[in-house]
Chains A and B, each alone.
Chain A
Amino acid sequence: MMAMQETVTSGLSKRAARCSSSATTRSNTVENRKPCKAHSLTIDELVFGREPLSLDDLLSSFPARTSQILELLHLFGPLNSPMLPVFVYGGASTGKTSVTLQILRHLNRPFVYSSCRTCYSARILFESILNQLLLHTKNEANGYSSIRRCERPSDFVNMLREALVDTINNLKGRLGKSKAGCANGRMIYLVFDSLELVQEWDKNSILLPFLFNLYDILKMPDIGLIFISSCSPDAYYSNMGYLDPIPLYFPEYTEDDIRQIFLRNQANRKLYSCFFDVVLRPFCRVTRRLDELSTAFSSLFKKYCEPLSDPMVAPNEEIKRRLFGHIQPHIAQALNEVFQVASQPSLEANRETQGRGIIRKPGSCGNLDEIDFHMSTSGKYLLISAFLASRNPATLDASLFDPKGGSDSRKRKRKASGKSLENKEIAEQDLLMKGPGTFPLERLLAIFQCITSVAEDFLDEEEQGDDLSRVETGSILPMSDVLLQLSSLCNANFIIKGGSCPLEGTTRYRSTVSEELALKVARSLKFPLSKYLYRQ
């Protein structure tokens, strides 16, 4: 597991290591850090910052990545040799970033790393690169500001060229006297990570062609560019068209590779290997991504070990069989769970999946009727009304919520049966395609008023009002409180604020709650939700 943790954190730890190393050398810097201290940073800050790695260590810390490492090393070439831009790509968690950074650590060459995930706009990206090159750290004394203000590619090129010339001259100046821990050579490498995200925020598509052309624009042989992306190069082809950099592909790990990786740091390898015989194949049919597998396996392995008294035991046939019987029912369940790791945010889906994660969790927990989060009663009513407003056609509101609704329900049935089969199919298709409908605020509030008053009547009949006080608060809730509840539901992503209606100009809402969850919430309130659901 160590290697994997390193995999994940090395991008961050590099900076952290740099900070801590500077802190240890100058012990009093924490209290009163003066701007002049920043000048004492030397060019050596641009290397990885820990002791260099030998080639054997490098290869052994990344199982199944040997050919990629060697190829990348070839492309980096010997000391002081120029390099054409390289494009490293492959799926998520295949070791692209960490292999690249560890190779630079092995070579001990100066580099600038910037990820388009943390640098989420052109300006932040540019300034982060300049800050690193000019050895500028943001601190209290300079008001956490960047060294230069730089928004446009044209300004960036000028400033970058200036900074690079300085740095390279600096590197060249010390070429003769190289000692341990110093940066090697006079090449400087710029690493751009998570390039696929640029497609999202670079709406005018200026930045991508610019970055790909940066090498030709700068015309400096002493810089090397490395792009890291999880999208293959063909995702970047556009009508703009540019000469593509040299591709280097990191394939997804195979089953054997995964086994090798997981076995690396296990205390009891034999036992883990038995465990793998059972679980690996079924899980690999679903996903081969290491980060997802590792979370699934860690909890599953604990279950697997439960019947054992001694976790270091060497398994024999009998134990294996017993353990297999023990784990088997859990496998099927674990396969159908979305692992608790937030699935890597794709595109704009990020926000939504996180929101729905809350909703889906009770579903995946399975059999429980209880909802496993706290919500106020009026919040629950509001949730149900939003669900109804999203699901039912607005034209039926009057008949559904009319207090004298007995005849209406019959009428509704007749109407529904009168529909032709074809229409029904189209409507079904519509529901699948369009998802829940939108509604204005007024409609939501009206439904809310109706169902709270109905619920009161309903409970009166059923329970002779022993719990009346609670529901009453729902019906006489001041409007401001309802609106407050609504905004917190919006924040929790149960209700999405949609675009405004083009005709009226008012904001429209949409409920994202699944029927399952809505029914569950209704049950907890003893509210007869199914009576109010319109079915085609």
Chain B
Amino acid sequence: MELENRAEKTLNLLRSRLCDPSFIFKSFSDSPDGNYSKLKFIISSSITEACNNSILLLGPRGSGKIAVLELVIRDLLLEHADAVSVIRLSGLLHRDENCAFKEVARQLCSEHQLSFSKMASFDDNSQFMIATLRECGLAHKTVIFVLNEFDLFAQGKQRLLYSLLDAMQSVTSQAVVVGVSCRLDADQLLEKRVRSRFSHRKLLFLHPSNEDIQRLLEHVLSLPTDSSFSHDYMVEFNRKLQNILADQRFKNIIATYLDSSSTVNHLVRFLFVAVSNMDMESGFLTLENFKVALSSIQRLPKLECIKDCSILELYILVCMKRLEVKEQNSYNFNTVMKEYKSIHDSFRTSDYYARSVCLRAFEHLLQRGLVCFMDNRVQGQSVEFRSVKLLISPIELHQGMKSYHSCPAILLKLMDREG
């Protein structure tokens, strides 16, 4: 009971760490030339010098742009509590300008204890934003605008960006606009009038280096020395962890995983699965946990799909593949059935079923996402007549069929033969 409790506590601690991005990126924050320090310097200098600024944080998804920014903002709020207010927008939610202005007004209102009117028009809201910015500037209060998914704001008329950046041109206002995007060309998307008002400061977030990863693993997985865990358990846990981390097999697992997905958040996801597999009786992590996690997280969906198919569905796939090899530019269910019949005629297979049964199998393939329609807009056309295409390459199909345990020999033969 005691043991299990201990294991549960460990598991809870590790899982809460992994679900908390600010904890994870803290390990990167102490290096002097890291993004954290750079970003903090830029924003805090514009707070203290009371000037306007704009920055873009660019990098692949899951590289911790937002997490680092949130760390910086949290620290700044601690340092200059009254002089900073933060407005957060996301391109996913506020792509629509009307929506965006409304949200800005709402957040400004709640920040300054004003009552927010839902009925306010687009114009009211934008006027309100500019007026508040001026007031904040006069009161020497910096407003930080965080625009997540910045590239989505650059779609359409870019009125939000324009009015924000235009308001920042005046001497009185005091604001920092931080755009966050995973498109490296995000600043090229801006209109001329917006671009000219934007300071082209960019911070790049890159994949973590091997040393970073090693440090991250230790930082996240080892138990803290000053905790309520019993000392012996903590020492034992950390010693076992060190053994695993130093193990060459473990390094290989991590390297294999990072080959395909190399951002920090991907690594976190992998660690989460591994930690969740921890043995609750002993309460220690083992190398086995990481192995299992790798196999469960690295999936080959197409091959799985092939394994799920019935023999009839495989026949249809092979027919379609043959049609594609023949370079027929478009084909539909009827053509596939013609091919199916010709295969049956020449090889006398035992798997020849009625058209309606085949149509159902064909619909299964559509649901599985192995086949899709060429055009999505046609309405009122029945399934048989809409042209389709395969969503699996012949190589994958062949590979999948070879590992299919009872695949008919004739199908493999048909696959081998070109056309």
A binds B: yes
A interface residue numbers (CB < 8 A to B): 71, 74-75, 77-84, 90-92, 152-154, 157-158, 196, 206, 209-210, 213, 216-217, 221, 230-235, 241-243, 246-249, 251-252, 284-289, 292, 335-338, 343-344, 346-349, 352-353, 356, 360, 363-364, 429, 432-435, 496-499, 510, 512
The reply to whether B61 and A242 form a contact with Cβ atoms under 8 Å apart is yes
Chain A residues near B20 (CB, 8 Å)? 82, 221
Pick from A234, A243, A292: contact of B301, CB under 8 Å: A234
CA of A235 to CA of B99 in the docked complex: distance in angstroms?
Answer: 30
CA of A243 to CA of B106 in the docked complex: distance in angstroms?
Answer: 29
With A83-B19, A221-B20, A364-B356 given, is the CB distance from A349 to B363 under 8 Å? yes
Q: A251-B307, A338-B356 are known; give 18 further A-B pairs, CB within 8 A.
A: A77-B11, A84-B19, A152-B99, A196-B367, A221-B19, A221-B20, A232-B302, A234-B302, A246-B273, A246-B297, A247-B296, A247-B297, A252-B308, A338-B357, A344-B363, A364-B354, A433-B332, A433-B387
Name the segment of B156-164, B234-242, B247-255, B377-385 touching the other chain: B377-385
With A78-B11, A221-B19, A233-B301 given, is the CB distance from A213 to B92 under 8 Å? yes
Q: How far is the CB of B10 from chain A (nearest CB, A)?
A: 10
Q: How far is the CB of A523 from chain B (nearest CB, A)?
A: 21
Task: Identify the interface centre among A343, A360, A364, A496: most chain B CB within 10 Å of its CB.
Answer: A343
CA of A150 to CA of B129 in the docked complex: distance in angstroms?
Answer: 24
CA of A288 to CA of B305 in the docked complex: distance in angstroms?
Answer: 13
Q: How far is the CB of A9 from chain B (nearest CB, A)?
A: 21
With A77-B276, A230-B367, A249-B299 given, is the CB distance from A83 to B356 under 8 Å? no
Pick from B266, B305, B353: contact of A335, CB under 8 Å: B353
The reply to whether B182 and A241 form a contact with Cβ atoms under 8 Å apart is yes
The reply to whether A92 and B310 form a contact with Cβ atoms under 8 Å apart is no
B interface residue numbers (CB < 8 A to A): 8, 11-12, 15-16, 18-20, 61-62, 66, 90, 92-96, 99, 102-103, 106, 182, 263, 265-266, 268-269, 272-273, 276-277, 296-297, 299, 301-302, 304-305, 307-308, 310-312, 330-332, 334-335, 338, 351, 353-354, 356-357, 359-361, 363-364, 366-369, 373, 379-385, 387
With A84-B272, A216-B66 given, is the CB distance from A337 to B15 under 8 Å? no
The reply to whether A285 and B299 form a contact with Cβ atoms under 8 Å apart is no
CA of A117 to CA of B381 in the docked complex: distance in angstroms?
Answer: 23
Interface of A: prevailing SS: mixed
Pick from A82, A241, A512: contact of B15, CB under 8 Å: A82
CA of A309 to CA of B355 in the docked complex: distance in angstroms?
Answer: 37
Chain B residues near A284 (CB, 8 Å)? 310-311
Interface of B: prevailing SS: helix
Chain A residues near B11 (CB, 8 Å)? 77-78, 81
The reply to whether B379 and A347 form a contact with Cβ atoms under 8 Å apart is no
CA of A182 to CA of B385 in the docked complex: distance in angstroms?
Answer: 55
Provide 12 A-B residue pairs closer than 8 Å at the C-beta atoms, listed in order of the A residue.
A74-B276, A84-B269, A91-B308, A91-B367, A210-B92, A210-B93, A230-B367, A230-B368, A235-B369, A247-B299, A251-B308, A288-B308
The reply to whether B308 and A432 form a contact with Cβ atoms under 8 Å apart is no
CA of A455 to CA of B273 in the docked complex: distance in angstroms?
Answer: 74
Nearest to B5 among chain A residues (CB) is: A78
Pick from B103, B273, B364, B380: contact of A496, CB under 8 Å: B380
Chain A residues near B338 (CB, 8 Å)? 432
Chain B residues near A246 (CB, 8 Å)? 269, 272-273, 297
Q: How far is the CB of A361 from chain B (nearest CB, A)?
A: 9
With A75-B273, A247-B297 given, is the CB distance from A232 to B61 under 8 Å? no
The reply to whether B93 and A157 form a contact with Cβ atoms under 8 Å apart is yes
The reply to whether B382 and A512 form a contact with Cβ atoms under 8 Å apart is yes
Q: How far is the CB of A203 from chain B (nearest CB, A)?
A: 9
Q: How far is the CB of A437 from chain B (nearest CB, A)?
A: 11
Chain A residues near B361 (CB, 8 Å)? 286-287
The reply to whether B19 and A286 form a contact with Cβ atoms under 8 Å apart is no
Chain B residues near A71 (CB, 8 Å)? 296
With A217-B90, A243-B265 given, is the CB distance from A335 to B307 under 8 Å? no
Chain A residues near B15 (CB, 8 Å)? 77, 81-83
Which A-B residue pairs are the 4 nearest by beta carbons? A435-B385, A232-B301, A336-B354, A252-B308
CA of A454 to CA of B235 in the docked complex: distance in angstroms?
Answer: 98
Q: How far is the CB of B177 from chain A (nearest CB, A)?
A: 19
With A252-B308, A285-B311, A346-B367 given, is the CB distance from A233 to B299 under 8 Å? yes
Task: Identify the interface centre among B265, B266, B383: most chain A CB within 10 Å of its CB.
Answer: B383
Nearest to B18 among chain A residues (CB) is: A84
With A232-B301, A241-B61, A286-B357 given, is the CB distance from A497 to B310 under 8 Å? no
CA of A308 to CA of B90 in the docked complex: distance in angstroms?
Answer: 69
Chain B residues near A353 (CB, 8 Å)? 363, 383
The reply to whether A346 and B366 form a contact with Cβ atoms under 8 Å apart is yes
The reply to whether B182 and A434 form a contact with Cβ atoms under 8 Å apart is no
Chain B residues near A498 (CB, 8 Å)? 380
Chain B residues near A158 (CB, 8 Å)? 106
Task: Identify the interface centre among A348, A497, A512: most chain B CB within 10 Å of its CB.
Answer: A348
The reply to whether B357 and A335 form a contact with Cβ atoms under 8 Å apart is yes
CA of A216 to CA of B18 in the docked complex: distance in angstroms?
Answer: 13
With A231-B369, A249-B304, A432-B338 given, is the CB distance from A288 to B310 under 8 Å? yes
Q: How far is the CB of A59 from chain B (nearest CB, A)?
A: 17
Q: How far is the CB of A457 from chain B (nearest CB, A)?
A: 35
CA of A23 to CA of B192 in the docked complex: distance in angstroms?
Answer: 64
Chain B residues near A230 (CB, 8 Å)? 367-368
With A78-B8, A433-B332, A496-B380 given, is the CB distance from A221 to B353 under 8 Å? no
CA of A249 to CA of B310 in the docked complex: distance in angstroms?
Answer: 18
CA of A152 to CA of B93 in the docked complex: distance in angstroms?
Answer: 8
The reply to whether A346 and B363 form a contact with Cβ atoms under 8 Å apart is yes
CA of A251 to CA of B297 in the docked complex: distance in angstroms?
Answer: 15
CA of A196 to CA of B46 in the docked complex: distance in angstroms?
Answer: 46
